[in-house]
Amino acid sequence: MKNILSVLTISALLAVTSCKKTDSQNSVANTSDVKKTEEFVVDSVSLNDSVKVNNLLSLKYESKMLVFPSIKDKALLDSIYFDQKGITDYSKKGLQSFLDKDKSEYFSSVKEKDNDWMKDLQHPQNWDTGYFMKMKSNTNDFLQIEYTYSSYEGGAHGNYGFSERVFDLKNNKKLTLKDITTMPKARLEALLMKNINNIPSGTTDSQGAVKNSDMLLLETVPANENFYFDDKNLYFHYSPYEIAAFAAGDIVIPVSWEELRETLTPQFKERMKIN
C-alpha cells in the first residue's frame, strides 16, 4: 500500500511540474507573439546648416528624413528612399551620415560653379535647398509618406514640389493605382476633371475666387501615381506647373470611394473596410 501511495504521490508531483512547464512554455510563446506584433516605430534625422560663399551669396541646406527601425525588408526601404541615391545604411546613424554628405556636396556644387555666373548677381542673395519627409498616416498597414522638395537659386521665386507614396507593409511593396482600382484611365481622368475645383477638407483655397480649372495648362488632368487616401477619398496631388500655372500652387483633387466603388479591388476594399 505504501508503495502504491508513493507512486501516486510522485505521479501527482510530475503532473503539477508538467503543467507549470507547459504554462511557462505558453507564456514564452505568447511573449514571442507580442514581439512579432510590436509597435510600429517612426524616428527621424534632420540637418539645418548654412554657409557664406562670398559677400553676395549665402547658402542654406535644410533636410528631414524619417527613420523606420521596424522595417527590415531592403527592397521596401529602397523604395521608401527612392529619390535619395547612394544610401546603403538605413539606420538612424546611417541616414544622418547621408545628410552630412549630401549637405557638403550641395555647398561644393555651388562653390565650384564657373565664376561667370557671379557677374549676374546684382545684390546679396540667399539660395537654399530643402528636402522633407512627412508621414501622413499608417492605417491598415498602409504607410503613407509625403515628400517635399524646395529650392531657390535666384529669379522671381523659388521652386517646390511634392511626391506622395503609399507602401503596403503587409506585402512589402509600393502601392500602385492598379492595386486600388480597375477604372479605365479615360474614365478616371474624366472624374479628375469634374472634381478639379473641389477643395479637400482640411486644405485652404489660397486662390479665392480663381478656380483651378481657370489656370489649367492641359486639356485633361492625368491620373498619376502621386496619390494618397483616407477613409473617404483617394487624392491626387499635383506640383506647381504640373497641370496648372505656378500661381495655382500645388493642387489636390479628391475622388470619393463612392465614385470608385464599382471598380475597387476586393483586396483593397477589405483592407480599408469599404462597404
User: What integer pLDDT is reported at residue 129 of this predicted model?
Assistant: 97
- Give the angle subtended at the CA of 234 by the CAs of 231 and 236, to the nearest 5°: 145
Q: Are 143 and 169 in contact (CB under 8 A)?
A: yes
Report if residue 161 sits inside a domain: yes
Q: What is the CATH number of the domain that holds 252?
A: 3.90.640.20
Q: Do 130 and 214 belong to one domain? A: no
Q: Do 198 and 122 belong to one domain? A: no
* Pairing state between β 43-52 and 57-67: antiparallel
> For the chain, what is the domain count?
2
The Cα 17–Cα 19 span in angstroms is 5
Q: Which of 157, 175, 193 is the last residue of a domain?
A: 175
For the chain, 275 residues long, give each residue's pLDDT as a single digit of tens. Answer: 444 334 334 444 444 444 444 444 444 444 444 344 568 899 999 999 999 998 889 999 999 999 999 999 999 999 999 999 889 999 999 999 999 999 999 999 998 876 666 767 778 999 999 999 999 999 999 999 999 999 999 888 899 999 999 999 999 999 999 999 999 999 999 999 999 999 886 565 544 567 999 999 999 999 999 999 999 999 999 999 999 999 899 999 999 999 999 999 999 999 999 98
- Could you say which DSSP state residue 238 is in? E
- Could you say which DSSP state residue 199 is in? P
- Could you say which DSSP state residue 198 is in? P
Q: Do 158 and 228 belong to one domain? A: no
pTM of this structure: 0.82
Q: Do 186 and 239 belong to one domain? A: yes
Report if residue 113 sits inside a domain: yes
Comparing CA positions, the residue from 143, 148, 173 lying closest to residue 163 is 148
Q: How many residues does the structure list for the chain?
A: 275
Q: Do 198 and 133 belong to one domain? A: no
Report if residue 9 sits inside a domain: no
Report if residue 79 sits inside a domain: yes
Q: Which of 175, 195, 226 is the last residue of a domain?
A: 175
Give start and end residues of each alpha helix (H) in 83-184: 92-111
Output the nine-digit C-alpha cell for 41. 516605430
Report if residue 181 sits inside a domain: yes
Q: Do 193 and 269 belong to one domain? A: yes
What range defines the domain where residue 137 resides?
Answer: 29-175
- Could you say which DSSP state residue 112 is in? T
If phi > 0 it is left, if psi is from -120 to 50 it is alpha, else beta; for residue 200 that is beta
